[in-house]
Amino acid sequence: MDWNKLEVLLAVARHGGFSAAARALGKTQSAVSQAVLALERDLGQPLLSRRARAVRPTQAGSLLLEHAERVEAELAQAARKLAALREVRGGRLVIGTSDTLAYYALPQVLSAFRARHPDVELVLETRPSPATALALAAGDVDVGVITLPLPRGLRHRGAPLERAISCEPLAPQPEVLIAPPAHRLARRKRVRFAELTGEPLLLLGRGSAGRDFVDRELQRAGVRPQVVMEMNSVELLKRMVELGFGLSIVPALAVEREVRARDLSAVPLMAAADTRRIGLAFEAHGAHGRAADVFASLCRTLLGARTA
């Protein structure tokens, strides 16, 4: 059934005749009559009872009109929802990120987005950055805020992950060594990874971009790390360092409050690798919606300003 013909049938039924329907649709009466006749031929039965002064639906016509009205209502609702998505007045945006970035980097971005687009449902899914990148490639999240570079060798459906996602660096995310203020390294301006030989280290669990970075730098420095604790929370790492269990390496943005309070000291690390960065990530060949574009624009503005 051709929807254009169904629209004509609806107009004839609503306006009670071919002439009135033609005026309402901006068509000739002949075009309206031909559309209804073609629909009747397609279905093999009469849809309208044509009398001298009135046109009424047959039993078949009434049945078809009932369903056509439902289709019309569904299409109108779809059009409204699509307009809302285009104007960022509704819909759902799934953001993938890490616990650390969600806690320390994104609150201002999320607050600004919510203030401008309160009707969009925001879903925040937290995973380590490599897992977020894989979720993006699979189409499970709409936009990712991740730490770059990602570990080498990640694959999606047998192919290198970089073919499935596109990444855009936004702002530096330097790592710092955190230590109790009384520690011998706490007052240094910079620390080399080689100086961590023999130090008890508290590190993020394997599989995170942060742990991959630390392992790579320690290996380059020829250090066999003395890892005394592993955990998946930067907050726990900081607390354990405060309690004297060892040293740790975390993003500088995650320890600003403790440094101001003098609960911890944060010392820049001299890394052989390029400084890590906060980045945006999208599925490379997927079409992302207007809400994702607006969120990405806010990330570029606010995260870039924060670390400028």
**CB 60 within 8 Å of CB 46:** yes
Instruction: Write down the domain spans for the chain.
Output: 3-86, 92-170+280-306, 175-270
Q: Per residue in 224-234, is it b (16+ CB within 10 Å) or e — as a string?
A: ebeeeeeeeeb
CA R_g for the chain: 31
92-170+280-306 and 175-270, same CATH topology: yes
CA 6 to each of CA 32, 59, 116, 199: distance values in angstroms, whole numbers, following the listed order: 11, 16, 40, 78
Question: Which pTM was predicted?
Answer: 0.71
What is the residue type of 196? L
Q: What are the pLDDT tens digits along the chain (308 aa)?
A: 788 999 999 999 988 889 999 999 999 999 999 999 999 999 999 999 887 677 889 999 899 999 999 998 888 888 777 776 676 767 889 999 999 999 999 999 999 999 989 989 999 999 999 999 999 999 899 999 999 989 888 999 899 998 999 999 999 999 999 999 999 999 999 999 999 999 999 999 988 888 988 999 999 999 999 999 999 899 999 999 999 999 999 999 999 999 999 999 999 998 655 578 999 999 987 667 888 989 999 999 999 765 44
What would the pLDDT profile of 128-162 be if each residue is shown by its tens digit?
999 999 999 998 999 999 999 898 889 998 999 98
* Rounded Cα distance, 222 and 211, in Å: 16
pLDDT at 306: 54
Q: How many C-beta neighbours within 10 Å does residue 153 have?
A: 8
* Rounded Cα distance, 197 and 207, in Å: 23
Alpha helices in 17-138 (DSSP H): 18-25, 29-43, 59-86, 99-104, 107-116, 129-137
The answer as to CATH 1.10.10.10 being correct for domain 3-86 is yes
What is the residue type of 306? R
Q: Which residue has the tokens 């710092």?
A: 176
According to CATH, what is the number of the domain 92-170+280-306?
A: 3.40.190.10
**CB 217 within 8 Å of CB 270:** no
According to CATH, what is the number of the domain 175-270?
A: 3.40.190.10
Please state, rounded to an integer, the average pLDDT across all residues of the chain: 90
What is the residue type of 37? L
Handedness of CA 66, 70, 76, 79 (dihedral sign): negative
What is the residue type of 223? V
pLDDT at 308: 40
